[in-house]
Amino acid sequence: MNLDIYKERINRFVYKTRDNFDHLIISSPTNIRYLTSIALEPIERLFLLIISTRNEAIYIVAPELEKERVIYKCMELGIEPLIYRDSEDPYLSLANIIESNSILGVENNIPYGIIHKLGKYIELGELRLIDDYINGMRLIKDEYEIKILKEAAKINQEVIKHIIANIHAGITERELANEACVYASSLGVEKCIHPIIQSGPNTSLPHMGSSNRKISSDDVVLIDFTILYNGYVSDITRVVSIGDDTKYRKIFYVVRDAQEKAIDIIRPNIPAYLVDREARGFIEEHGYGEFFIHRTGHGIGLEVHEEPYIHSKSNIALSPGMVFTVEPGIYIPGKFGVRIEDNILVTSDGYVNLVNLPKSLSRSDYLD
Ligand SMILES: [Mn+2]
């Protein structure tokens, strides 16, 4: 594996942060993966990236059982591995690096236990958040990331087509979701994240997830499928009806047109809230404003929800390399809901929709 991309990332990150912190403690496995390519799921064991501006050194703290997966990349990246055994206290080596009363950079989701235990060995200095620095980098995808995100979207579309082809009266939402995850694995997907297949009145609850409800012949079915492929996310939603779709049409077309109008205004330098306003304004004009109960979209990348968030207060200027979802919805409590979601890449002169699935209530439109 060529680690040049990661060398550049970690150097850029050090350069951006070095004047404001003495030491950075990075505990999010996703951020560590972004900066080093080292992808571990440490569960409760301590796994940290420490960037020490004071010592001009970078360390990875990792348990011995992960040693083989860590040390070669560390050598390549100029990182010093601090490997500990289960019988050892890894905080002892942390306390050797981090001086008392120094300025520490941490993520907002650092487990409190890490700070608490470190505080037993040293006098904790000022804690400052580093999220803006790292999120600011992750926000703009490079060519390598864009290539994977495009592949992920392509594969996810195949999964969604497969699900739609397999919907039939009598199958449960959960059976369909499980089958879809098996199919996704056969296409090389790392994992399915919270697979949402909802039918009938369940579609009115945006993030309910799949249940044991049996799909019946005049149901509307909402498929919101999120996959992780090669570390990156695709998150696509479609709604189809397997029988008479008359009663779903009006709301379906309002959502579809709102989504397409919102996508159409995407270009660099406009504030993200305009995308939300476009979708929301259209839905409000049609009298369904109170039933659009979530933001219009969210960034995707190594995580399912990341910046840029697309809501009414989001002032961030869209820039080439940003990738986010556009997914307005209308949810009529107790009846049904419709959401349509694509994945959009901002380019220098507009956008590319990474998804080219039909947007139709009729399942036959999805079948090859
Ligand atoms: Mn989404």
Per-residue tokens: 172: 């449960």
What's the pLDDT score for residue 44?
87
Is pLDDT of 2 > 90? no
Buried b (16+ CB within 10 A) or exposed e, 304-317: bebbbbbbeebeee
Q: State mean pLDDT over 324-346.
A: 98
The answer to whether 328 and 363 have CB atoms below 8 angstroms apart is no
CATH superfamily label, 143-366: Creatinase/methionine aminopeptidase superfamily (3.90.230.10)
Distance (angstroms) between ligand 1 centre and the Cα of 3 equals: 30
Ligand 1 center from residue 45 Cα (angstroms): 30
Task: List, for residues 168-225, the tens digit of each pLDDT value.
Answer: 999 999 999 999 999 999 999 999 999 999 999 999 999 899 999 999 998 999 999 9
As a whole-number percent, the residues of the chain with pLDDT over 70 amount to 100
* 203 DSSP 8-state letter: G
For residue 58, report the distance from its CA to the centre of ligand 1, in Å: 35
Quote the pLDDT of residue 261.
Answer: 98
Largest Cα separation within the chain, whole Å, is 69
Give the number of other CB atoms < 10 A from CB of residue 29: 17
| pLDDT exceeds 80 at position 1 | no
How many A from CA of 207 to the centre of ligand 1? 10
Which tens digits make up the pLDDT trace of 31-75? 999 999 999 988 889 999 999 988 889 999 999 999 999 999 999
Tell how far the Cα of 235 is from the centroid of ligand 1, in angstroms: 5
What is the CA(195)–ligand 1 centre distance, in A? 11
Task: List, for residues 67-107, the tens digit of each pLDDT value.
Answer: 999 999 999 999 999 999 999 999 999 999 999 999 999 99
Q: Which DSSP state fits 212?
A: S
User: Once rounded to an integer, what is the mean pLDDT over residues 104-122?
Assistant: 96
CA of 237 relative to ligand 1 center, distance in Å: 8
Give pLDDT tens digits for 235-283.
999 999 988 999 999 999 999 999 999 999 999 999 999 999 999 999 9
* 281 Cα to the center of ligand 1, angstroms: 20
196 CA distance to ligand 1 centroid (A)?
A: 11
Element (H, E) at 16: helix 4-17
CA of 234 to the centre of ligand 1 (A): 9
Please count the other Cβ atoms lying within 10 Å of the Cβ belonging to residue 56: 9
What pLDDT sits at residue 207?
A: 87
Q: 304 CA distance to ligand 1 centroid (A)? A: 7
| Ligand 1 center to 84 CA (angstroms) | 39
What's the CA-to-centroid distance between 28 and ligand 1, angstroms?
21
68 closest CA partner among 88, 55, 83: 83
Domain limits, the chain: 4-138, 143-366
**Which residues have a Cβ under 8 Å from the Cβ of 92 and sit 6 or more positions away?**
121
Question: What is the tens place of the pLDDT at every residue in 119-149?
Answer: 999 999 999 999 999 999 999 999 999 999 9
Q: How confident is the model at residue 368 (pLDDT cuts 50, 70, 90)?
A: confident
CA–centroid distance, 297 to ligand 1, in Å, is 7
Q: What is the pLDDT of residue 286?
A: 98
Report yes or no: 227 and 237 within 8 Å, Cβ to Cβ. no
Q: Can you give the pLDDT at residue 42? A: 85
What spacing in Å lies between the alpha carbon of 18 and ligand 1's midpoint? 35
225 Cα: distance to centroid of ligand 1 (angstroms): 9
Average pLDDT, the chain: 96
pLDDT at 337: 98
For ligand 1, the distance from its centroid to the CA atom of residue 68, given in whole angstroms, is 36
Rounded to the nearest angstrom, the distance between the alpha carbon of 74 and the centre of ligand 1 is: 34
pLDDT > 90: percent of the chain: 95
Mean pLDDT along residues 3-16: 95
pTM of the model: 0.94
Domain 4-138 belongs in CATH node 3.40.50.720: no
- Specify whether the backbone of 272 is left (phi greater than 0), alpha (psi in -120 to 50) or beta: alpha
